[in-house]
Every structure is written in C-alpha cells, then in structure tokens.
Amino acid sequence: MKGNFIDNLPKVYGIYTGGFIGFIIIMAIAEQMGMTAKAIGIAFVAFTVFIYALIGWLSRTAQADAYYVAGRQVPTVFNGMATAADWMSGASFVAMAGGIYFKGYGYMALLVGWTGGYVLVASLLAPYLRKFGCYTVPDFIGTRYGGNLARFSAVVVLTVASFTYVTAQINATGTIASVALDIPFQYAVYVGLISILLCSMLGGMRGVTWTQVAQYIVLIIAYLLPVFWISNKMGAGFFPHFMLADEVARIGELEQQFGFVKNAAADLKSVPKGLAGITKAHSAVNATPWAFISLALAMMMGTASLPHVMMRYFTTPSVKAARKSVGWSLFFIFLLYSSAPMLATLSKLSLIDPNLPTGIIGKTFAEVEAIDWYQNWNQANLMFISDFNGNGTLELNEFFMGGKAVVLATPEIAGLPYVISGLVAAGGMAAAMSTADGLILAIANAISHDVYYKIIDPKAETAKRLLVARVLLVIIGFAGATIAAMEIQGILGSVIWAFDFAMSGLFFPLVLGVWWKRANRQGAIAGMLGGLAAGTWYLVWVRTGGSGFLGITQLTFGIFGSAVSLIAMVVVSLMTAEPDKATQKMVDDVRVPSGKSILGKSH
C-alpha cells in the first residue's frame, strides 16, 4: 500500500473487518459441515488473539514518544474506537445485560454513570491535559503542583484504583479462555495474561492503540449481531432499539400475572452460589432517587479520574482532536450500552412468556429438564430450577440463572447456530483483554516514567527507560494474574470499587489543577492522600458492619472520599502560600489550545 500507515487506516481496518466477517461465514459453513462446537470456540478465540498479537508485534517501537503516547498521531475517530474498547471491560460485555435483567432500574444507574462521565472528561479535563503534553496522569500532577511527593501520591492513587480494576479483567479473560479452550481456570488465567502482554509489551501505547481498535470491531459485531438476530427471529422488531416497547409492556403484564413470590430462606439455600431469580420489576422505578443518583454520580466522577481512559486522549494530534475524540468514544460506547437493555428484554421475555416456544415458565419440570440448552447451562452452573411448592410446574420464583448467562446463553436459547456463541466468546475476550491492556500499561507507565525516570534516575537513557517499562509491565501483569487466580472477588463489585478509589483521590486534584489557579502543592497532596484514606476507611468500615451515613454504600464510598478530598484540598491550599508566578503562568498556558505544549515533545 502507498502512503503512510495513518493515512491508510480506514483501508486497513476496512479489510480487517471484511476478513473477520469472512471468518464468521467460514465458521458458519464449517458448522453446517459438522465442525464441533468445541472446535468452533477454540478457532474463534485463537484466531482473534493471534491477530491482536500480530498487530502488537508490527507496532513494536524503541522510541519513548511512540511507547508512551503512540507518537501523538492517532486520528479522532480511531482514538474513539480504541477508547471505547479500553473502556468497555469484560464486565460491560458479559455482566451488564445480566445486571439489568435481574435488578432493573436501580442497576441502570451504571449505564447513565458510565456514559455521563464523558461529558466531564470532555469539558473539564481531556483537552487541557492534552495541551499539557504529559505522558501519564501523575506527570500532570507532578508538573502542575511540583515536587516528588505530589507526583508520588498520584502514582499511589492510580495504582490502587487501576490494580483493583485489572484483577477483575484478568479474571474475565481467564473465565472466557477456560470455557472456550476447555482448560482449568488456574491455567486459563495465564493464557489470558500472555495474550494481553503480547499486545502491549513491544509497542507500548502504540501497540495497545491499534489492537484496541481491532478489538472494538470484534466486540461490537459480537454484541450487536445476536441482539438484532434474536429480535428478528422472535418477531419482536427489525430494529430492536426502537421497537421493543410492546415486549417491555408484555413483561410488565407477565410480572403482574405471576407475581413476585418470596422464597423461604431454607429453599434458597439449595440454589447454587451466584445464581439469582427474577425478583424485581423490569421497567418500573425500583430505587429511591438518591440511591440512583449517588451511584450514577460516583461512576461519572470516577470516569473522569481513571488514568487509563485519560491517557488515551494524550495520543491525539491536537487539543481540538482530543475534544472531538471524547465525543466519538462515547458514540462507540453508546452503540453497546444502548443495546444491553434490549438484550435483557429479549432474553427475559423469551424465557418467561408461555406464549413463546422458548418460554419455560408454566412448563412441567420434566419438560424443562429435557431441553438441551437447559442441560448445558445447568451443567455450566449458570441455570437451576427447583420445585419449591411441589406442584410439578415451573413458577417464576423457581427459576434461577447466573448474570453471565444473559449474554452467553441467550443466543442458544433463541435457537441461533453455535457459531454465534463462538463469536460472543471472542467478543468477551476482546472486551476484557483491551481493558486489561490499558490498565496494565497505565500502571507500568506511571511507575516507569514517574517513579523511575522522574524521581529515581532522571538521567536514564531512552533504551533503559523502555526496558524498565517493559519489565514492570510483565511484573504487574503476573501480580494481577496471581491475585485473579485466587478468585477472591466478583468481577462487577471490584470494577465499581476502582471507580470509587479513583474519584476519591484524583478527581478534585485533577480538575482544580486546571480550573483553580490558587490550588497549590500542599493542597493537592492533602486532597489526594486525604481523599484516598477517607474513602478506604469508609469502605472498610461499611464492610466490617458499620452502618454508614447519608445512604452512601460500599459501592458509592467515593462520594465520601471525594468530598473529604475537596475540603482538604481547598482548606490546605488557602492556609498555605499561593503557587509561584511560573506555575500561574503555566496554568494560563494550559487554558488556551494554541502555542507549544507545556512539557517538551520528548521529556
């Protein structure tokens, strides 16, 4: 191909998308010719991971600028896709539709929170941090406020938040790899880890950028194709997003008809761990305004503080492009997030409506137990039925399912060919890998650039810096995988904690660094460490039986942490001397897009 790589991007990814669709078709034909389900699953995961590794190898680099910020030449739309993949984790892909299915409105605060945060990113932070020209988020804190302690505090907050997040992602890659490749989870975690490192180790941010674009394309096809297919097959509507109102109303009707019968505690003991029944109305408002708003708010402020997202906007060619790129990111995220409630609706209706051929409520136990897909998912520990009232017929309160099953099992329930299930596995793998890549890179870059280069050895040569960065990448990856292999925490819970940690320590020090000239070093340090300590204390207190206050739960502890952070930062800043003239001038320069960036091109 003529011209440079950047100009050819649409062509390159166009061919890639065509090739991937071709691969799906080949697999579909192979299935008809008798290829086994297991072989299809392995082919999907192996083929896509091989492509990502190839992209990672082609993007290898020995330049600091390319390793840390992809050479600052990623076009707006492609950066949007990469950010969307970076953002949408295994939790978004596998668990979100399930959460909506079981918890309804109260859970959907996460949808609003995980999208609304981008308005804060676009208006408060991204363009200004891009103008700054930093390599990492602590780089901004360290230069704006000055001093090693401020820089180091930012690294601490970043590491706590990102590490909480990354173990969940490695856990998700392990889960999918173990199902698709049929190997034990303890080994699958390391298979997932090696795939992740293949993408990021040689090319750093450059490698991660181009693999994330490729991963976005896989995951969005894998999510949307089944939703549209199922909707059309059920006759629910050609374009589900605009046409499922009748189905939503029908679910409401059925809920009325069946009623939400409360099970006895003794009965519930027999249900396998992790499975749940339908106990909440599908589309009714089932949470108090504050419960909804506090969760959404915590997720929004967390979004604007998470370093792996922020650093994606350091890679655009200009400040203007950074702003637009946030819009594109959210557009690409919107495509998946707005489809999750539709999938939850289709999945629930197909299971509970007795008028549909797939409906199981109202059938006899013998009938349900004879269904192929019920047997498969019961074996996988994701479905369970039990005749509590002994009448021989399945009632709504006697049917239990795992949250992951909504995404993983619905295609099979709706009677789609197995090739779709293989595609969904590849999509889940892409979603978890892309987020894990971004997070591990964020931690390793912060430690290699901010701790090693800026604090320990400022004279280090580029080759040595990049070697340190890569060694750290491997160490952090293995540490994350080791903790993930212990399976101590659920995927979704730890993701939400990561947002709370990030907002507790970083939201106000970042925002006020741009928007309040008077903010100084002492204030920022107090804000970061005070906020993180307060948030952590609150979490531990509630987890150990504390009652909490103001309705702040263990999922929204960042609201308390960030409030303490704000107060500490303002009070300490005002009690100490204002920043020097040079710093004030620096803030003025950050506020206008034109002119040189604050930090040099290579620093």
Say which amino acid occupies 516: W
Give yes or no for residue 283 binding other proteins (CB under 8 A): yes
Give yes or no for residue 75 binding other proteins (CB under 8 A): no
CB of 328 to other proteins, least distance (A): 9
Nearest residue (CB) to other proteins, 114 versus 384: 114
Give yes or no for residue 324 binding other proteins (CB under 8 A): yes
Q: Which residues contact 466 (CB under 8 A, 6 or more apart)?
A: 62, 64, 67, 204
By CB under 8 A, which span of 63-71, 116-124, 434-442, 572-580 interacts with other proteins?
A: 116-124
Nearest residue (CB) to other proteins, 318 versus 553: 318
By CB under 8 A, which span of 51-59, 87-95, 318-326, 499-507 interacts with other proteins?
A: 318-326
CB of 327 to other proteins, least distance (A): 4
CB of 333 to other proteins, least distance (A): 8
Q: Which of 539, 597, 20, 537 is nearest to 319 (CA)?
A: 597
Given 297, 425, 466, 524, the residue binding other proteins (CB under 8 A): 297
Given 43, 66, 88, 108, the residue binding other proteins (CB under 8 A): 108
CB of 410 to other proteins, least distance (A): 17
Q: Which of 270, 108, 112, 167 is nearest to 490 (CA)?
A: 167
Given 17, 318, 376, 482, the residue binding other proteins (CB under 8 A): 318
CB of 448 to other proteins, least distance (A): 28
Nearest residue (CB) to other proteins, 293 versus 474: 293
Q: What 3-state DSSP class applies to 257?
A: helix
Give yes or no for residue 72 binding other proteins (CB under 8 A): no
Give yes or no for residue 293 binding other proteins (CB under 8 A): yes
Compute, in degrees rounded to 10, the torsion defined by CA atoms 496, 501, 504, 508: -90
CA distance 380 to 383: 8
Site for other proteins in 456-485 (CB under 8 A): none
CA distance 506 to 565: 9
- Intra-chain end-to-end CA distance of the chain, in Å: 33
Nearest residue (CB) to other proteins, 308 versus 323: 323
Q: Which two tokens stand for residue 399?
A: 């049917």
Nearest residue (CB) to other proteins, 120 versus 481: 120
Given 13, 105, 478, 541, the residue binding other proteins (CB under 8 A): 105
Say which amino acid occupies 186: Q
CB of 190 to other proteins, least distance (A): 37
DSSP per residue, 422-468: HHHHHHHHHHHHHHHHHHHHHHHHIIIIIIIIIII-TT--HHHHHHH
Nearest residue (CB) to other proteins, 245 versus 486: 245
Binding string, 119-158, against other proteins, x = CB under 8 A? Answer: xx-xxx--x-------------------------------
By CB under 8 A, which span of 23-31, 67-75, 283-291, 444-452 interacts with other proteins?
A: 283-291
Q: Which residues contact 482 (CB under 8 A, 6 or more apart)?
A: none
CA distance 180 to 61: 32
CA distance 390 to 503: 50
Give yes or no for residue 553 binding other proteins (CB under 8 A): no
Q: Which residues contact 158 (CB under 8 A, 6 or more apart)?
A: 137, 138, 307, 442, 443, 446, 502, 506
Binding string, 208-247, against other proteins, x = CB under 8 A? Answer: ---------------------------------xxxxxx-
Compute, in degrees rounded to 10, the torsion defined by CA atoms 100, 485, 37, 418: 20
Nearest residue (CB) to other proteins, 323 versus 521: 323
CA distance 147 to 150: 6
Please count the residues of this chain forming the interface with other proteins, following the rule CB under 8 A.
54
Nearest residue (CB) to other proteins, 296 versus 349: 296
CB 480 within 8 A of CB 79: no
CB of 341 to other proteins, least distance (A): 4
CA angle at 525 for the pair 520 and 530, rounded to the nearest 5°: 130
CA 472: distance to chain centroid?
22
Nearest residue (CB) to other proteins, 26 versus 285: 285
Q: Which residue has the tokens 């910020």?
A: 69
Site for other proteins in 397-426 (CB under 8 A): none
Site for other proteins in 580-599 (CB under 8 A): 588, 591-596
Give yes or no for residue 516 binding other proteins (CB under 8 A): no
The DSSP letter of residue 5 is T
DSSP per residue, 361-399: TTSBHHHHHT-HHHHHHHHTTSEEE--TT-SSB--GGGE
Q: Which residue has the tokens 């992951």?
A: 404
Q: What 3-state DSSP class applies to 402?
A: strand
Site for other proteins in 243-272 (CB under 8 A): 243-246, 248-249
Given 27, 111, 218, 485, the residue binding other proteins (CB under 8 A): 111
Nearest residue (CB) to other proteins, 345 versus 358: 345
Nearest residue (CB) to other proteins, 194 versus 284: 284
CA distance 221 to 22: 13
By CB under 8 A, which span of 22-30, 46-54, 191-199, 328-336 interacts with other proteins?
A: 328-336
Given 67, 314, 337, 538, the residue binding other proteins (CB under 8 A): 337
* Residues making contact with other proteins (CB under 8 A): 105, 108-109, 111-113, 115-116, 118-120, 122-124, 127, 241-246, 248-249, 283-285, 287, 289, 292-293, 296-297, 300, 318-320, 323-324, 326-327, 330-331, 334, 337-338, 341-342, 588, 591-596
